[in-house]
Structure 1
């Protein structure tokens, strides 16, 4: 008799939810992730735009003022200005696309995923951008007959920058994956 009663209790407990999702806490967590992703992306974009714009302008102005005929420095400056323009165009597109998300749990989570996915693409672009920048820098050093020590130091520095940009890119990928896992879990639990 006791076994049957325990079995009934066990069966009724198996049909009940063992845990309850705190929706307000979950929503606050999603809002915090959204704010973090939006802030990181805004800072990354603005820094990339300003650094490329300032550096490209400085390189071109310096080469003109120096009466330099270093074609590679001009190309480097123009490349940096084009990168600044490219990032600005995609920033405007991203900001216009932000309006399509509703301000619900599902919408804020989708917005967060969209922003982190954009940040992953931006960091990947900036990482791959190291190669043409490096090539143009090294060619301008070669054209300017710079010392081997300066060229070696530049190569080492650019290698370190490439490695660190990989760490940054992986951080953004992990953040995006965490949000996608959260979305999948919530969809499986029928919360979204």
Structure 2
């Protein structure tokens, strides 16, 4: 909670410190946090859809131009399916946005929901995207053969992506979500 926006008042009768919350400033702070969470999830969804669409088109074009086998078509189809899933996930999330009240607590719930979505996408990226794509890629490399340099490059890229997504989830998204949850608990206590 942003305590610097609170005014300190001295209660002379009881001799204890009390606080009065500037509700307007607090509501503006909550609205900023909600808007920031909305921008983050929108950017993540749009970027993932754009990247996966581009990769699907490139793989499909390459498969058609080089008259490739089922492995290359399968890669393009898998990437296209991830775009369809992301579109479904986004539509479902957007539909849910209309259910939140436009009160301070409602906007905080909206921000928490968007933060939950970012954490969920990061989790999905690890377990249902990187690992299956890694298995598919390594299977293709085993089937068709690949040089040691290519093996090392691909393994390095997947490990880097895995650790970066995991780090981002743990170091950025989960703490942001927890901060919003703590703010809500604090507001509901008062």
- TM-score normalised by the chain length of structure 2: 0.88
Residue 13 of structure 1 is matched in structure 2 by: 15
**Structure 1 alignment gaps of length 5 or more:** 1-8
Cα distance in 2, alignment partners of residues 57 and 142 from structure 1: 24
Residue 83 of structure 1 is matched in structure 2 by: 82
Residue 135 of structure 2 is matched in structure 1 by: 135
Larger radius of gyration between Structure 1 and Structure 2: 1
After the TM superposition, which of the residue ranges 48-57 and 79-88 deviates more from structure 2?
48-57
Q: Cα offset for 1:74?
A: 2.3
- The answer as to 2:182 corresponding to 1:181 is yes
1:98-113 alignment to 2 at 5 Å? 98-113=97-112
**Structure 2 alignment gaps of length 5 or more:** 1-10
After the TM superposition, which of the residue ranges 144-153 and 86-95 deviates more from structure 2?
144-153
Residue 63 of structure 1 is matched in structure 2 by: 63
Name the structure where strand makes up a greater proportion of residues: 2
Q: Summarize deviations over 1:126-154 as a string: whole Å, max 9, x none.
A: 12210011111122222332211111111
Q: Cα offset for 1:11?
A: 7.0
Cα distance in 1, alignment partners of residues 121 and 103 from structure 2: 26
Cα distance in 2, alignment partners of residues 48 and 89 from structure 1: 13
Q: Cα offset for 1:73?
A: 2.6
Q: Cα offset for 1:21?
A: 1.3
- TM-score normalised by the chain length of structure 1: 0.87
Residue 23 of structure 1 is matched in structure 2 by: 23
Cα distance in 2, alignment partners of residues 178 and 59 from structure 1: 41
